């Protein structure tokens, strides 16, 4: 089983260059950073992980840019995968995003994992150019355009949200045919169908092993129906604070079809983060 680390405070408080290097030494397979470019002070929908009093946790608005944090992590490591957990695709320019991802993947030797999502905050999405009510249509169009930019020597794309004439966009990613696109979601029919139809894998937040196993079974059936090989899909469990941090839990997810579990680093400072990593490595690496 592959074990990854979700690092929230991946800035000067706990330098990703140091944290990712130590994670690689401890045997962790991947290192993940989150994404919120801006967070509106007032929002119409409450963050799912809000505190009992309704306040959003500070880490939501303190996240650094994931691509820059992952580039710093990649500079001091040689093996560990570098993932977005997750990137809010509708909130970024797709041509610029394609360039950033290709640069990161090429520089790191093909280590990038593109965890993606549509976002939950209407105001945040709108401020950054998202069509919130149709955000997954926008995500699909953006991903299709980025794949053209990653694949073709001269790229051209005409879609609903992205439209550009022949252009050159370099470098190309080291990962072939492109970095894996892992769709973040909960277990619901529309999300599962997206994974089966055009995703390279599923990276859900779940409340139980049974919920995850149910999603895996349904995705595989849908993929087979769509003419895709279910065996080529990546099934990752994305743990939130306190979740899935024992060997027994990891083993249960492996039996349910997971090939990776990402666990949560909750400390803000470097010393605390390194201590937590040591504890987690003893608990779950090699499970």
**Strand partners for 32:** 6, 83
- Residue 119 and residue 184 in contact, taking contact as beta carbons nearer than 8 Å: no
CB neighbour burial string for 33-48, b if at least 16 within 10 angstroms, e if fewer:
bbbbeebeeeeeeebe
pLDDT value, residue 136: 97
* Secondary structure string (H, E, C) spanning 138-164: HHHHHHHHHHHHHHCCCEEEECCCCEE
67-103 confidence digits (pLDDT tens): 999 999 999 999 999 999 999 999 999 999 999 999 9
Tokens linked to 119: 């976002």
Average pLDDT over residues 164-184: 98
Whose tokens are 């710093």? That residue is 72
Count: domains in the chain: 1
Residue 181 predicted with pLDDT over 90:
yes
Phi-psi map region of 228: left, alpha, beta (phi>0 left; psi -120 to 50 alpha): beta
- Residue 113 and residue 173 in contact, taking contact as beta carbons nearer than 8 Å: no
What confidence category does residue 208 fall into, taking pLDDT thresholds of 50, 70 and 90?
very high
Q: For position 32, which CATH number holds?
A: 3.20.20.30
- Listed in sequence order, the residues at least 6 apart from 253 whose beta carbon sits closer than 8 Å to its beta carbon are 1, 209, 212, 237, 244, 261
Pairing relationship of beta strands 260-265 and 234-238 according to DSSP bridges: parallel
- Rounded CA separation 259/233 (Å): 10
Enclosing H/E stretch for 113: strand 112-117
What confidence category does residue 162 fall into, taking pLDDT thresholds of 50, 70 and 90?
very high
Residue 278 predicted with pLDDT over 90:
yes
Enclosing H/E stretch for 181: strand 181-183
- Rounded CA separation 207/129 (Å): 32
What confidence category does residue 48 fall into, taking pLDDT thresholds of 50, 70 and 90?
confident
Residue 53 predicted with pLDDT over 80:
no
pLDDT value, residue 287: 64
102-116 confidence digits (pLDDT tens): 999 999 999 999 999
Average pLDDT over residues 183-202: 94
Average pLDDT over residues 49-72: 85
pLDDT value, residue 47: 79
Q: How many CB atoms lie within 10 A of CB 87?
A: 22
Mean pLDDT of the chain: 95
Average pLDDT over residues 158-177: 98
- Rounded CA separation 56/61 (Å): 9
Residue 49 predicted with pLDDT over 80:
no
CB neighbour burial string for 159-178, b if at least 16 within 10 angstroms, e if fewer:
bebbebeeeebeebbbbeeb
- Rounded CA separation 73/149 (Å): 25
In three-state secondary structure terms, 81 is strand
In three-state secondary structure terms, 217 is helix
- Residue 201 and residue 216 in contact, taking contact as beta carbons nearer than 8 Å: no
Pairing relationship of beta strands 181-183 and 201-202 according to DSSP bridges: parallel
CA torsion angle 110 9 122 53 (round to 10): 150
pLDDT value, residue 61: 86
The whole domain housing 16 covers 2-284
């Amino acid at each position: 089983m592959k074990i990854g680390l979700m690092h929230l405070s991946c800035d000067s408080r706990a330098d990703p260059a140091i944290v990712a290097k130590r994670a690689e030494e401890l045997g962790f397979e991947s290192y993940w950073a989150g994404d919120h470019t801006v967070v509106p002070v007032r929002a119409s929908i409450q963050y799912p992980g809000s505190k009992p009093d309704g306040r959003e946790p500070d880490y939501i608005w303190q996240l650094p840019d994931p691509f820059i944090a992952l580039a710093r992590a990649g500079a001091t490591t040689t093996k560990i995968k570098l993932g977005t957990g997750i990137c809010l695709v509708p909130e970024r320019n797709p041509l610029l995003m394609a360039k950033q991802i290709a640069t990161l993947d090429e520089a790191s030797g093909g280590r990038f994992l593109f965890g993606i999502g549509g976002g939950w905050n209407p105001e945040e999405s709108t401020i950054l150019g998202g069509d919130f009510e149709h955000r997954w249509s926008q995500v699909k169009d953006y991903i299709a355009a980025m794949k053209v930019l990653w694949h073709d020597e001269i790229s051209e794309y005409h879609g609903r949200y992205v439209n550009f004439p022949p252009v050159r966009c370099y470098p190309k990613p080291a990962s072939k045919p492109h970095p894996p696109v892992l769709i973040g979601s909960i277990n619901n029919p529309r999300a599962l169908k997206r994974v089966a139809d055009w995703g390279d894998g599923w990276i859900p937040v779940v409340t139980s092993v049974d919920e995850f196993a149910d999603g895996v079974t349904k995705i595989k059936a849908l993929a087979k129906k769509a003419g895709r090989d279910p065996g080529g899909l990546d099934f990752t469990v994305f743990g939130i604070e306190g979740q899935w941090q024992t060997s027994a839990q990891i083993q249960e997810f492996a039996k349910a079809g997971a090939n990776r579990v990402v666990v949560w680093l909750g400390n803000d400072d470097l010393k605390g983060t390194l201590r937590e990593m040591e504890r987690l490595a003893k608990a779950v690496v090699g499970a």
